[in-house]
Structure 1
Amino acid sequence: MAITPRNEIKTDKIYIKDVFEQWYRIPEYQRPYVWSKDEVIELLDDISYASVNTPSNDYFLGSFVYQHRKAGGEQEFIENDLLDGQQRITTIFLLFAVVRDIETNKIRKENCQKYIFQEEDKDTNTPERIRLLYKIRSEVEKFIDEYVKPENSIIDKWEDIKRIAIEDKDVSIKNMANAIVSIRTYFEDNKNIDTFFPYLLQYVLMIYVYSEQLEDAFRLFTILNDRGVKLRNSDILKAQNLQYVPDSERTKYGLQWEELESELGEEFDRFLSFIRTIVVKEKARLNLLQEFEDKIYNPKEKDKTTGKLKPALLKRGKETFDLLNKYYDHYDQLFENDNYNFTNGFEFNNMVVVMKTTLPSTDWIPPLLSYYNKFNSNRIYDFLLLLDKKFTGDWIGQLTPTERIENMNAILKGIESHKSPDDLFKTNLFDFDKVSLLKNISQKAYGRQFVKNILLKLDFLYNDNKVNKWSWFGQITIEHILPQNPKDGSQWKKDFTDTDRADLTNKIGNLILLGRGKNASQGRFDYSLKHQKYFAENINTFPNSLRVFNKYRTQWTKNELNENQKYVLDTLKAYYNIE
């Protein structure tokens, strides 16, 4: 189905094969392409899962908002300025380039090229055009012209693309190259394109919303992204459940729901997603409302052993309200109270701060809530440490988001099936790839997403935990002790060769946390002056930083750096039980 714009605001569903019959432009007010490997792989995983498990059902990819711009004046062609949806549409655009170049199916290759680029045909007066135009970002346009548009460019220039994914300074170009690498690796790792690709074109759909007037298009974008304007999932779910509550109790349960909303604010929908995960114990594949309807209240899947539809996991009405209230009490206890009695100290609360502050997702929270629901505070701090080690072990070991979610859901199932914490802890549910974790934290760490988690964890391990919830956790910056760009003639240049600095500057042993913003000029002082004038004022609340400050008072040479590198790695190996 093609879009047929008129001089009006219009919205409808559209399948991917029709999305890429149109022409799009990324306008100057748009942000860069920012999706990382995690978002790209999660998108591919979700579509792949749907293509195998629900091959006849549509998969909703999301919405996109654009201003429809007719040809005229200086504008030669009809174009659609994307206001929302750039990340998904760009990712699919890059996917077409990868499939085109790794495929042998001639028709599929031609289809992919058609969705990327229209060749000039003078016989029919067809102009040369690119489906997704980054005209206002000339460097991005050049990247697409060289590495995406030409056939076989991804194969012929593969080493260049991998290098760009690591080294390029332009955010969009670096992330596009990384997306290409991730997509190609994904499909070459035993993924069936013959199942995936037809499903992508025919069953993956989006909702488009457009207007010819920029003001109207922006207003639509705001409405779709402003939770204060549109109904939230929680509002609809509340109304659906109140219908199943007796009239005499409807007011009471309605007020309870509103109290939860008031306490949690904008986090309420996320809290509902925690409840969904605890009940279903599987990765969410649909939006929140559909998950409650199709997975919890009225399951659509059949039991593989009986062939019958699975039973409801929860009843609408009072049972749902009571479950939410119970888990809110758990949430409030674990995240808003001092919990001193758990360990006769504040270890539990301080580790929660580390996890909430630095982990890339909240997928660890449902297992923690479920554990507390079943076992109360019995060995809950031991569970929290195991949970952290498992989650960060998987994350730093570079498991995909889907794999990490599945592992957290396996722990949820383990909590349900085991009678005691001891039985649960003896399972292999908390195992992770220790070799990969150690390899990644031993190499250059600065710039990696996990570095703040590791440094804050070191502070936690050196902390006496006599204080509840460190007050500084919202004011963290990472500082190099040996600066990245020391001045010519400085003591740094005398103590470290260029080779030494290339090898050591970004390792974890050369990094500490500061409680204020960086000062580039003071950060380049020679060590004795930096120690005296810079560190002394900024590290007083960071135990690991204080340890370094107190132990290394006069110099920081290759020997001291290597000694500290070994020390922090030994500390982390002890925490992660790595021999």
Structure 2
Amino acid sequence: MPLKAHEHPLKKIFSADFDFAIPHYQRPYAWGTEQALQLLDDLEDALVRDAAEPYFLGSLVLVKPDENAPRADVIDGQQRLTTLSILLAVLRDLAENDEVAVVLRDMVLEPGVALDGIKAKPRLLLRDQDSGFFTTYVQTPNRLDDLLKLSDHALANDSHRAIRDNAKVLQERLSSWTDDKRSALAALARNRTFLVVVSTPDLASAHRIFSVMNARGLDLEPSDIFKSEVIGSIDAAQQQAYAKSWETAEQNLGRTTFADLFLHLRMIVAKARGQRELLIEFPQQVLNAYTKTGRATSFVDDMLMPYATAYTHLLNQDYDEHDASWSKVNNWLRRLVQLDNNDWRPPALWALRNHDDDPAFLDGFLRRLERLAASMLLRRVYTTPRVTRYIELLKQLDAGAGVDAEAFDLTADERHETRERLDGELYKVQPVRKYVLLRLDELLANAPGVSYKHKIITVEHVLPRNPRNDSQWVKDFAEDERAFWTHRLGNLLLLNRNKNSQAQNYDFATKKEKYFSPAAGVTGFALTTNVIMEPVWTPDVLERRQVELTGILVKEWELN
């Protein structure tokens, strides 16, 4: 069987035509709630945008040894298929219309034929470690409520936790919709949402396809198409010079980063979240205003080159370090690039482009931007509302606001929630903990914008997570005290070394000497030095440190 690629609506994807299985060698299901909600947001956007327009959700790469048999091993697309199954199951259990519920049930679980002795079976079979759990709680109707009641301790692995958490956030969101809107979404998903299915008869071919589809290399980028259009719209006598300027900007940023710049430019100009492919939207929202009006050179001179320069400064933090004013700008950029998302970059680029001669403005602007970004990081504001906030900021900037833009302001509720997250079990949120601790360490060291050069930076507990029963930890901390303090800010520090599971459980004095101290190879962290200076580690010490450390960040981010 040769390679085949076809577009299929989800009603065909989740039908008897395909019997999907996740091979044992695949990584487990790992999409988080942000990605699940983003999928729902994208479908909702398609729902309100155009009643007839198809919505393309990406691709699947399958191994199908027999093209006439439904069996298909999923090489690429597991995360999307699993999340779609969860979404369909949530819609199924919320459906008030029995006919809609039956259609959705049959998309998730092949119904079987009792009289023919054919049993119902899942449309999607996860890995052995997860398949029984997924079938019981997601693919079987009316079991989602039982799933959502399961505690972390009742779940066997991170994949099960991700399944539960994504089901929870999708159910919470969809429960607030009317039944008619949910039914409309189900119809969109079933009939107008498409996946491109690429199938091949053997694993080697599938992996080659997967590699080609995901390789960056020198594949044609949208920016290459835009270059052709812009340079082609310039007088022949000037084309060579402008092509050279374009290529210089691309070389300075690197091909991938240069391509990303066009995403940021689209947001800066359109002040709206992307709805379709950049190749379609960028000409409509940005480029045509230049190329269709004889102003192609202005796009390069006034848009591309200044923003490419600003982006280079943003990424390299290379303003004049000998000038204290510009050094402050570099410091804010060093902090911001440590965030786990890039959504803050368009407003930062706007400021760097439009106030490139005013370090005092940039200092104030980036300070407020970092405060807003840090608060949203701590509150785990996911992509859509996060981008919406930055879009509102761009609109206000375009209307003449500056450092005083209201979109920078945190409401009383936002400040309160940020304080609560700081005071909570910070360690459990991986994208947050290192950013907060590095920010805190910088403040403790009184070294603004310090750039840590360590190849490895890990977040470690002082009071260990699993102390031995005969340890001093168990004597000094009651079980409920350990449960309360273990993952909080006051009990955390930074190390420039890999974690050592044996050393993690040392008693405090030994741990300081053999695991935390300079003699153990740890250097450079004020937070760690402060821990070493503590003579004992008790609940009272932790309570004092928690108040002190959270207070430093509350003051820095003006959260009161």
TM-score scaled by length of structure 2: 0.91
- What SS class does the counterpart of residue 73 from structure 2 fall into? strand
* 2: CA distance, partners of 1:171 / 1:466: 37
Alpha-carbon contact 2:315-2:337 (below 8 Å) kept: no
Take 2:325 and 2:363, find their aligned partners in 1: how far apart are those partners? 11
Of 288, 295, 300, which residue of structure 2 is paired with 1:321?
A: 300
Does structure 2 retain, via aligned residues, the 8 Å contact 1:27–1:82? yes
2:409 alignment counterpart: 430
CA distance in 2, matches of 1:511, 1:313: 57
Residue from 351, 356, 360 that aligns with 1:371: 351
Instruction: Give SS of 1:411's match.
Output: helix
| Alpha-carbon distance change, 399 to 172 in structure 1, aligned in 2, over 3 angstroms | same
- What corresponds to 2:38 in structure 1? 42
**2:252 equivalent to 1:263:** yes
Residues 13 and 207 in structure 1, CA contact (< 8 A), matched pair in contact too: yes
Q: For the residues of structure 1 that align with 2:295 and 2:250, how far apart are their CA atoms?
A: 19
Give 3-state SS (helix, strand or coil) of 2:374's partner: helix
Q: Which residue of 2 aligns with 1:308?
A: none
Match of 2:538 in 1: 557
CA distance in structure 2 between the aligned counterparts of 1:489 and 1:560, rounded to whole angstroms: 22
2 CA distance for matches of 1:547 and 1:37? 36
| Structure 1 partner of 2:140 | 150
Tell me whether 1:207 sits opposite 2:189 in the alignment.
no
1:230 deviates by 3.2
Q: Mark the CA change 1:426 to 1:264 in structure 2 (over 3 Å): closer, same or farther.
A: closer
Corresponding residue to 1:105 among 72, 97, 107: 97
Residue 389 of structure 2 is aligned with which of 407, 431, 435?
407
3-state DSSP of counterpart to 2:494: strand
Q: Name the CA distance, whole Å, in 2 between partners of 1:294 and 1:54.
A: 18
2:27 to 6, 24, 31: 31
Letter in 1 for 2:97: N
> 2:161 is aligned with what amino acid?
K
- Give how far 1:71 is off: 8.4
Superposition deviation, residue 113 in structure 1 = 1.0
Change (3 A) 1:133 1:298: farther
Q: CA deviation at 1:312?
A: 9.4
Do structure 1's residue 361 and structure 2's residue 341 form an aligned pair?
Answer: yes
> What value does the CA root-mean-square deviation take over the aligned residues?
2.5
Give me the whole-angstrom Cα distance separating, in 2, the residues matched to 1:444 and 1:496.
17
Deviation per residue, 1:182-233 (Å, 9 max, x gap): 1101101336313322222222222221112322222111110011163222
Q: How many Å separate the matches in 2 of 1:257 and 1:325?
A: 8
Distance 1:486 1:126, change over 3 A: closer
Report whether the alignment pairs 1:289 with 2:285. no
> Residues 387 and 430 of structure 1 are in contact (CA less than 8 Å); yes or no, is this contact kept in structure 2?
no
Is 1:334 matched up with 2:314? yes
> For structure 1, which segment, 29-38 or 234-243, has the greater mean C-alpha deviation from structure 2 after superposition?
234-243
SS in 2 for 1:65: strand
Whole-angstrom distance in 2 between the partners of 1:455 and 1:256: 41
Aligned to 1:470: 452
In the alignment, the residues of structure 2 paired with residue 457 and residue 86 of structure 1 have an alpha-carbon distance, to the nearest angstrom, of 36
Q: Which residue of structure 2 aligns with residue 121 of structure 1?
A: 113
Q: Deviations over 1:103-125 (max 9, x none)?
A: 11112111111111112315456
Pairing 1:175–2:162 present: yes
Shift in Å at residue 344 of structure 1?
Answer: 4.2
Corresponding residue number in structure 1 for 2:468: 487
1:8 to 2, 6, 9: 2
1:238 aligns with 2:227: yes
Q: How many residues align?
A: 546
Deviation at 1:314, TM superposition (A): 9.3
Residue in structure 2 matched with residue 69 of structure 1 by the alignment: 65
SS at match of 1:425: coil
Rate the CA distance shift 1:86–1:426 in 2: closer, same or farther, 3 A: closer
Change (3 A) 1:397 1:174: same
What is the CA–CA distance in structure 1 between the aligned matches of 2:202 and 2:287, rounded to whole Å? 42
1:535-558 C-alpha deviation (Å, 9 max, x unpaired): 1125431222223333x1x21111
Q: 1:109 to 1:379 in 2, by over 3 A?
A: same
* 1:533 maps to 2:514: yes
The residue type paired with residue 569 of structure 1 is T
Alignment of 1:503 onto 2:484: yes
Counterpart of 1:412, as a letter, is L
Residue 214 of structure 2 aligns with which residue?
Answer: 225
- Is the deviation greater in 242-251 or in 45-54? 242-251
Structure 2 unmatched ranges of 5 or more: none
SS at structure 2 position matched to 1:520: coil
Identity of aligned residues (%): 26
Find the aligned partners of 2:432 and 2:194 in 1 and give their Cα distance. 34
Give the C-alpha shift of residue 454 in structure 1.
Answer: 1.0
Q: CA deviation at 1:51?
A: 0.7
Any conservation in 2 of the 1:279–1:313 contact (CA below 8 Å)? no
Counterparts in 2 of 1:508-523, with a 5 A limit? Answer: 508-523=489-504
- 1:347 to 1:528, Cα distance in 2 relative to 1, 3 A: farther
CA distance in 1, matches of 2:74, 2:557: 46
CA shift, 1:28, in A, is 2.2
Q: Give 1:58's match in structure 2, choosing from 54, 72, 87.
A: 54
CA distance change for structure 1 residues 443 and 108 in 2, over 3 Å: closer, same or farther?
Answer: same
Alignment-mate amino acid for residue 548 of structure 1: V
Question: In the alignment, what sits opposite 1:391?
Answer: 373
Between 439-448 and 183-192, the greater mean CA deviation after superposition: 183-192
Q: CA deviation at 1:406?
A: 0.5
**What's the secondary structure of 2:381's corresponding residue?**
coil
Using the TM superposition, give the Cα deviation of residue 93 of structure 1 relative to its aligned residue in structure 2, in angstroms: 1.0
Deviations 1:48-84 (A, max 9, x none): 0121122322222111111113289xxxx53111111
**Does 2:542 match 1:569?**
no
Counterpart position of 2:80: 88
Q: Name the stretch that deviates more: 196-205 or 568-577.
A: 196-205
CA drift of 1:275 comes to 1.6
Gaps of 5+ in 1: 1-6, 300-310
Q: Distance in 2 between matches of 1:71 and 1:280?
A: 45
CA offset digits 1:506-547 (Å, max 9, x no partner): 111100111111122222222122222221125431222223
Which residue identity lines up with residue 270 of structure 2 in the other structure?
Answer: V
Amino acid paired to 1:403:
P
* Alignment equivalent of 2:12, drawn from 8, 15, 18: 18
